[in-house]
Amino acid sequence: METGKKWGSSREIQYNPRMSTTTDVCIYQLKIVLLGISPMIWRRLLVRSDHTIADLYHILQITMGWTDTHLYQFRIHGKTYGIARLGGISFRDNPHQVRLADLGLRLHECFFYDYDFGDHWQHQLRVEAILIPEPNCGYRVCIAGKRACPPEDCGGPWAFLALRQQYSLVHIAQRLEAIIESGERHKYWEELHDLRYWLTVERFDGRVPVTNG
Q: Average pLDDT for consecutive 10-residue bins of the chain (213 residues)?
A: 36 39 78 96 95 94 92 94 79 91 95 96 97 80 93 95 93 89 83 88 72 50
pLDDT of residue 181: 85
Number of continuous H segments (helices) and E segments (strands) in the chain: 4, 10
189 and 143 assigned to the same domain: no
Alpha-helix residue ranges (DSSP H) falling in the chain: 53-64, 157-166, 169-182, 189-199
Tally of domains in the chain: 2
The DSSP-derived string for 132-144 is EPPTT-EEESEEE
- Sign of the four-CA dihedral 167, 169, 174, 179: positive
- pTM for the predicted model, two decimal places: 0.80
Same domain, 116 and 15: yes
Burial letters 86-115, b for 16+ CB under 10 A, else e: eeeeebeeebeebbbbebebebeeebebbb
Give the CATH number for residue 77.
3.10.290.30
Asked if residue 5 is part of any domain, the answer here is no
Q: Which value, to the nearest 10 degrees, does the dihedral of the CA atoms of residues 123, 81, 10, 146 take?
A: 20
Output the pLDDT for position 22.
42
pLDDT at 8 (0 to 100)? 37
Whole-number pLDDT of residue 205: 73
Asked whether residue 52 is assigned to any structural domain, the reply reads yes
Closest CA to 133 of 27, 32, 62, 53: 27
* 104 and 22 part of one domain: yes
Q: Do residues 86 and 189 share a domain?
A: no
SS3 157: helix
pLDDT at position 207, please? 61
From the centroid of its chain, how far is CA 53?
13
CA-to-CA distance for 179 and 184, rounded, in angstroms?
A: 7
Looking at the fold, whether 177 and 140 belong to one and the same domain comes out as no
Contacts of 174 (CB under 8 A, 6+ apart): none
Please report the pLDDT score of residue 211 as a whole number.
Answer: 53
Taking the C-alpha atoms of residue 78 and residue 68, their distance in angstroms, rounded to an integer, is 24
3-state secondary structure (DSSP) of residue 201:
coil
Same domain, yes or no: 176 and 112: no
Res 7: pLDDT:
35
121 within 8 A of 150, measured Cβ to Cβ = yes
